[in-house]
Structure 1
């Protein structure tokens, strides 16, 4: 019995000891699991914090949007400094609204080779709405309206802009609109299947008519080297103007099937204040199946030359005055000269299917009394006229680098090899933590209104006015007048859609993508960079 009791006690002690050892082992295992859980919990929290950041700054001037959503783009714009750059990542994103507001001097760029796609929706007025004084650039994006009203609205008393190397498609009202004291260039874009109008230029009304006429100068909105295509969407104009507008439409290609009423248009004095002030239209190819008109000029003055029309047109070039056939409040037509009517217009060297183009003057009201050859328009070259530098100087030098250099105190000149030297700021890597709450108080235009929207005062912060620096133009990029007038011979009539961007690569100088490749803009994913810094997460 005693032996049995001893064995029983020993057995109990052994079991108790085993349990204690097992408990120790269990606690050790639990401690390891707890540590592992803590590590993963920290990783998860850090990941959440990183993805919650609305923007990341590579240096003092470049901010990466966290995604291409409306709120993340708006947050990046709000976080960016004056003269900064916002980079939107690759991907396809839906912009549900409200509009993305830009109220500072800024460059906005997509990523990759137009791999940033922003889709609008029916009922959205604008994807981008720009109200700033100084400069603005939008580049390397695809804006698919998806029946949204408009793509880019730029409204300012004093703005230098560039919209380039992008695609704007499927908008019901406008691809791009400028309003007020806007000048600059819209170049190397594709405008595809937009309803109503691709590009609209509204000037600064009376102020434009009060300034001296300045053909061949930078006082205009330039639209050059773009492709306009409409094979299924009914479209009134590839370009239209009013309200004292001054525009230059050059070296573009229009492919319209039978969908466009009058591709190149200049409105007169009737609907939106003063009529168009001036237009310079040259070196364009207008190819249609059938169109009633190719150009419809209804006021102002300018030059029209070296344009090629191919296809079927009822009238390739039509001249008219609103006030010559629309009666005023007194029930009468205007007396000559009608307000803002066509005067001193020069037309030469335009062809339709190889034959010379003769303007057609509408026979209604007193139009033919008001518009007469050798008094109001002349079928000859304008003496002493010289086209403005082509390509436009804003395309000849990188817009980002020049503005960046002007906005930082310390710069380093790059090495020079006999060519022009450029400056870039020293890079300071940082992660910017900013509020992600977007500004959502905006004024929405009525969806079906064709009247320009009223002036807005929605900008809550002061806007710094930046004095525009002159952009130097490498001599190799300046074309003589002779090269301008002979350019059409080098452009095939079956020019593919890709050829616009191909021409851009050959002549636009450094782009934002060039800056990325050169290390001036860092496209590294924020999570990858974090893993590099905290190697534990990569193990």
Structure 2
């Protein structure tokens, strides 16, 4: 995986950056207001200039309607610090082709939100050329936003948060193409997030639910969702074909690793394609349950669920981590807990969370897996070791029944309400 700042150069991009938007007037999760009851501004067309003009004239609470059409955008729109809905005419009705530039922030939609200004984006198809830097990029601290009923046919999608804390829900979206792209990237505010308590089953995470990820070919470096810099996400009730899930630890980027994840009630299918792993987790903790992995037409999942730690392997560290300031977890690094000669626990590794007791060692929080199946048979977490280093090193740092548990529900865990309260708002509009 690669540093986000180099995504363009390495053609490793995301469909949706962390984007904040919602269907509520305030930050409340319980009061969805219908679009018909809100002020409406109609953009005169779907060009970037026409949409931006409508957004500029919109006050908080307004719905900006973008008509059907097929428009090429060479620059993006920005509606930072506004509590508005931007709504197209529907999937395959309002089609935006990305022709923006190559700079990291040159994307069709850029939002730098504030906590009291949730927002929503709905009813678009986004397409474009390979090498895109993404479609939606979310920065700032907006909470309770929503992105829904959109289609992404491009080499990248949504990127969320970059040294910022923002969360909401992405629901009923379609990500598709002849080859996979990395669809959703979840960042947070790095070490600041790692100082917050673990909060599984709560609202303070990026939710992805009821989405479809459908691709013709698979590339395991391109994933449906990825996370680092303290990112927290919930990935549930989604359908994936020829695409996988992955997360980052502290290695090949300058930030901290993924903090937490809840991955459940998803269906993964390999249709005529092969994947070494379906879910690849490199740090943090959470739950993985009630997922199905299916192979058809000669497809194959070698290892549906795998965990690893790059800093366990000195050769990997030299190749990918040292240039970002990360050294090997071997008992000699002040980054780690160093409870034994191996350095265990390694910083942000599988089965560890925030150091709430302040003793300088990250607290234990094992990962739990249960009721996952490959072609109808039980499948469990396996440890991913490396061919070019001492394979025992990863197993020294990640151990079953200490750092993770197979076939055991997490004690006391309760999932957040489904569907997500934000996803209950209407995405239809009565047009005059």
What TM-score results when the alignment is normalised by the length of structure 1? 0.60
Deviates more, 1:281-290 or 1:359-368: 359-368
Instruction: Map Cα deviations across residues 308-343 of structure 1 (whole Å, 9 max, x no partner).
Output: 011211211111012212446696434100000001
1:289-438 alignment runs, 5 A limit? 289-311=273-295, 312-326=300-314, 327=317, 332-334=328-330, 335-343=343-351, 344-364=366-386, 365=390, 366-379=393-406, 380-396=408-424, 398=425
Deviates more, 1:147-156 or 1:325-334: 325-334
Higher fraction of helix: 1
Instruction: Map Cα deviations across residues 34-79 of structure 1 (whole Å, 9 max, x no partner).
Output: xxxxxxxxxxxxxxxxxxxxxxxx9983211111001111111111
Residue 115 of structure 1: aligned partner: 93
The higher radius of gyration belongs to 1
Q: How many residue pairs are counted as aligned between the two chains? A: 339
Instruction: Map Cα deviations across residues 126-175 of structure 1 (whole Å, 9 max, x no partner).
Output: 111111212111001111123333111111123321110110112x2x21
**Structure 2 vs 1, CA of residues 330 and 212 (structure 1 numbering), >3 Å: closer, same or farther?**
closer
Q: 1:94 aligns with which of 45, 53, 72?
A: 72
**Structure 2 vs 1, CA of residues 351 and 118 (structure 1 numbering), >3 Å: closer, same or farther?**
same
Residue 249 of structure 1: aligned partner: 235
Q: Distance in 2 between matches of 1:330 and 1:247?
A: 24
1:75-224 alignment runs, 5 A limit? 75-96=53-74, 98-103=75-80, 104-111=82-89, 114-121=92-99, 123=101, 125-133=106-114, 134-147=117-130, 148-170=132-154, 172=155, 174-179=156-161, 180-193=164-177, 195-224=180-209
Q: Distance in 1 between matches of 2:37 and 2:241?
A: 43
What TM-score results when the alignment is normalised by the length of structure 2? 0.74
Instruction: Map Cα deviations across residues 254-286 of structure 1 (whole Å, 9 max, x no partner).
Output: 011xxx4xx111211121411111000000000
Report the Cα offset of residue 232 of structure 1.
Answer: 4.5
**Structure 2 vs 1, CA of residues 184 and 112 (structure 1 numbering), >3 Å: closer, same or farther?**
closer
Q: Distance in 1 between matches of 2:400 and 2:59?
A: 54
Does the residue aligned with 1:82 lie in a helix, a strand or coil?
coil
Instruction: Map Cα deviations across residues 337-372 of structure 1 (whole Å, 9 max, x no partner).
Output: 000000110011111111111322122441110000
Report the Cα offset of residue 241 of structure 1.
Answer: 0.5
Q: Distance in 1 between matches of 2:376 and 2:328?
A: 42
Does the residue aligned with 2:160 lie in a helix, a strand or coil?
strand
Q: Distance in 2 between matches of 1:331 and 1:59?
A: 56
Report the Cα offset of residue 121 of structure 1.
Answer: 2.5
Residue 225 of structure 1: aligned partner: 210
Does the residue aligned with 1:303 lie in a helix, a strand or coil?
strand
Q: Distance in 2 between matches of 1:86 and 1:232?
A: 37
8 A Cα contact 1:73 1:88, kept in partner: yes
**Structure 2 vs 1, CA of residues 395 and 330 (structure 1 numbering), >3 Å: closer, same or farther?**
closer
Point out where structure 1 has 5 or more consecutive residues left out of the alignment.
1-57, 399-509, 518-522, 525-539
Does the residue aligned with 2:135 lie in a helix, a strand or coil?
strand
Residue 224 of structure 2: aligned partner: 238
Does the residue aligned with 2:120 lie in a helix, a strand or coil?
strand
Instruction: State yes or no: 1:265 paired with 2:246.
Output: yes
Q: Distance in 1 between matches of 2:39 and 2:173?
A: 26
**Structure 2 vs 1, CA of residues 362 and 67 (structure 1 numbering), >3 Å: closer, same or farther?**
same
**Structure 2 vs 1, CA of residues 374 and 62 (structure 1 numbering), >3 Å: closer, same or farther?**
same
Report the Cα offset of residue 119 of structure 1.
Answer: 1.2
